[in-house]
Amino acid sequence: MNHSTEWEAARRQVEQWRESGKKIIFTNGCFDLLHPGHIDYLTKARALGDVLIVGLNDDDSIRRLKGQSRPITPLQDRQVMLSALKSVTLVVPFEEDTPLGLIKTLLPDILVKGGDYEPDNIVGAVEVRENGGHVSVITFVDGHSTTALIKRIQEIG
């Protein structure tokens, strides 16, 4: 499903936030089964600015990225869970393999990923920096991943 309507609405919202001097933080991911690592990194990402936008992979994008057995939770449910977090201002889905198109549409002030990524390898880092923005990596919370959660569930299954 094309998400151009959501992208255009998000772009207009960013324009309004910018006009009122807000610092726009952006991150992205699959967020299939939420865990404390996600919560910690999203909270810290939000604290870097005034609003936090989360680019969210749609289901087919996750299937291509993480295998046919994923996602466990469909896009709509993942969107509901993320939107309920105090740290998250706006959730915007994307269908592509990477969020590059969405990042180029929004051009956030700070692009954020968790500590499992190197700043220079983050999709969109070049475009955000070229636009005067920055890239930030949030310390990884050891012992937490969706993959580990799935394995635990399979073990007790």
Ligand X SMILES: Nc1ncnc2c1ncn2[C@@H]1O[C@H](COP(=O)(O)OP(=O)(O)OP(=O)(O)O)[C@@H](O)[C@H]1O
Ligand Y SMILES: O=P(O)(O)O[C@@H]1O[C@H]([C@H](O)CO)[C@@H](O)[C@H](O)[C@@H]1O
Q: Which stretches of the chain bind ligand X, using CB under 6 A?
A: 27, 29-32, 37-38, 40-41, 66, 113-117, 140-141, 144-147
Q: In the complex, what is the shortest distance from the CB of residue 150 to ligand Y, in angstroms, rounded to a whole number?
A: 14
* Calpha distance 26→11 (Å, rounded): 12
Report the C-alpha gap between 26 and 28 in whole angstroms.
7
* Min CB(20)–ligand Y separation in Å: 28
Which H or E run includes 2? none
**In this structure, what token pair is assigned to residue 8?**
């255009």
Query: Based on the number of CB atoms within 10 Å of its own CB, is 10 exposed (0-12), middle (13-18) or buried (19 or more)?
Result: buried
55, with CB counted inside 10 A (0-12, 13-18, 19+), is buried
By the criterion CB under 6 A, which residues form the site for ligand Y? 28-30, 57, 65, 97-99, 117, 122-123
Q: Which does 57 bind (CB under 5 to 8 A by kind): ligand X, ligand Y, none?
A: ligand Y
User: Shortest distance, CB of residue 97 to ligand Y, whole angstroms?
Assistant: 6
Binding partner selected for residue 41 from ligand X, ligand Y, none, CB under the kind-specific 5 to 8 Å limit: ligand X
Quick one: what does residue 99 bind among ligand X, ligand Y, none, with the CB cut-off 5 to 8 Å set by partner type?
Answer: ligand Y
